[in-house]
Amino acid sequence: MEGSVQLGLRLDRITEPSAVRAILGFACNQGFVFSLFYLGANRAFGEGEFAFERADLLLTLAFMVLSFAMLRNASPRARDALLSRTLLWCYAGLLVLGSVVSSLAGTGAWGIAVEGLLVGVPAGFMLAAWGRAFGVRPVDRCVPEVFIAAAVAAGLCLAFSLIPVEHALLALKLLPLGSAFALRGLEPFAREEDASSRKGPSAGLQSFRFGDLVATREQHDETARLSKKIIAGTGLFGLTAGFMETFASDPGMASTPAFSASLLLLVLFCVAALQLISSGASAGSDAADQQGPLDGVYRLAVLVMMAGFLFVPVLGSFGVPGESIMLAGYLGLTYVLVSLFLVMAKLTGQDAALSFARGFAMLYLGEMAGIALGNAIELFEPVEQAPYAIAAFAGLAALYAYLFLFTERDFRALSVIVRDADRFDEACRAISQDHALSKRESEILPLALRGRTGERIAGELFISKSTVDTHLRRIYAKTGTHGRQELIDLGERTVRRLGGK
């Protein structure tokens, strides 16, 4: 119906300066991750048949998980300090230094450990910072931006990998500088004093919550249930990827020999994902009620992964890189999960940095377990059977996650919930535009509609209560309302109008 809020791809939105900055900045972040994880060498602890492959990736992931744990256990003030605008350049510098440390500290165990520390911790903080930056953007805008950024990152890495110049890939080590530069110009980092205007926890609301107009109590309960299933499924998908990290590569070789094929497939996947999201947005209301905007993308990612597992034993002898197809599906699935982490942050009112920390911690823990188990299989299985045993275990893990943990039905249910919940943000934007609210008044409006008291709003925005009262009076005057309840009634009418009811 006219006015319904859907995820969609609109040219006017993705060409806005903030959108371009977010896309290019996140592309820099992900391009660096690609170069670090997949365009280097397979470095191992030990030698011979007892060598532990991909030790470099294992330690980097371990330190990233450590940084996520620090964020999750830190106080809100300490978390804001760790993700402050001031430290972004420090993290970027550490990433650049850590990515070239192997040539300085050597390729032995100490060199791998130092690189893991210098890269893993700041990489985790930078990823969480991107979660926070995307978290303050509407879901219907940031989800397409994530997939566009992934395609740009893959295309950039593919282009550099094809340059016939020695050490051309070293240029990718400078990408964290572009990531930090972009972050510093995005909300909430562009105005540090307003960082707390991010949606916080819903505690302290009055008995009536405007958010209930678009997300019922049953939907909140369903969201909590699905959140647990997402985390469990994320861990198993990470396990799948970890298994394949030890496949088709030996210590000293390229870590992912056919990664160029994976990058090309990832670009094609992102194009297909954007097409699915766009077509879902333009579908009729009856179709929208039957499925959400992301479940088709989820289905496509899992299909690509499973196709890769089938190609490993069947067409491997014909040169079809099954592991590259699987890796492309996994990377595509990663961006589906990124979208889910942003969705869960919106539905739970949680800082998206924490949602990223929780989700990626489970994904990387699963990947670490997969690397360890893949090494164990290679140790105990005959050499000629080990690769196929690894592929079989990985395929079973992915299939189990898809069929029994986070199923397509669960994904559809969550997609529909967020489609409805996103109308709240759309209603706030519509009221702000229709009644010419100022930027500060537009920040106070959603908090007022959610039932926060003047004292709570003042605390969240770091302004005085008298200032809040002044802005509220101006909002009432501009919207033609005479108090909080009439303002909430206006919000309810706007939601119904946007929902086509």
Convert the pLDDT of each residue in 10-55 to its tens digit.
Answer: 666 777 888 999 999 999 999 999 998 998 887 777 776 667 888 8
Whether the CB-CB separation of 126 and 91 falls below 8 Å is answered with yes
- Neighbouring C-beta atoms of residue 4, cutoff 10 Å: 18
Residue 341 has a pLDDT of 87
Q: Which of 192, 176, 189, 185 is nearest to 89 (CA)?
A: 176
Q: Could you report the per-residue pLDDT of 148-202, keeping only the tens digit for each?
A: 999 999 999 999 998 888 778 889 999 999 999 999 888 777 655 444 443 443 3
Distance, CA of 435 to CA of 423 (rounded, Å): 18
pTM for the whole structure = 0.78
* Angle, CA of 248, 254 and 256, to the nearest 5°: 55
Q: For 488, what's the count of Cα atoms within 13 Å in the CB-facing half-sphere?
A: 17
Sign, CA dihedral 368-371-374-379, equals negative
As a dihedral over the C-alpha atoms of residue 303, residue 292, residue 409, residue 212, rounded to 10 degrees, the angle is 150
Strands, E, within 421-472: which ranges?
none
Whether the CB-CB separation of 306 and 240 falls below 8 Å is answered with no
Averaged in consecutive runs of 10 residues, what is the pLDDT profile of the chain (501 residues)? 44 80 96 91 74 87 95 87 91 90 64 87 96 86 92 95 84 94 84 43 34 45 62 83 74 79 94 84 48 74 83 61 83 91 77 90 92 80 58 74 69 62 77 91 88 84 89 94 90 78 46
SS3 of 161, please?
helix
Residue 130 has a pLDDT of 96
Phi/psi at 254 (nearest 5 deg)?
-60, 140
Residue 478 has a pLDDT of 94
Tokens found for residue 264: 């090309």
Residue 60 has a pLDDT of 93
Distance, CA of 404 to CA of 402 (rounded, Å): 6
Distance, CA of 144 to CA of 14 (rounded, Å): 8
Distance, CA of 444 to CA of 449 (rounded, Å): 9
Distance, CA of 205 to CA of 350 (rounded, Å): 15
Q: Which of 12, 262, 71, 20 is nearest to 161 (CA)?
A: 262
Residue 199 has a pLDDT of 40
Residue 205 has a pLDDT of 30
Burial 390-404 (b: 16+ CB within 10 A, else e): bbbbbbebbbebbee
Helices 322-348 and 139-161 pack at an angle, to 10 degrees, of 150
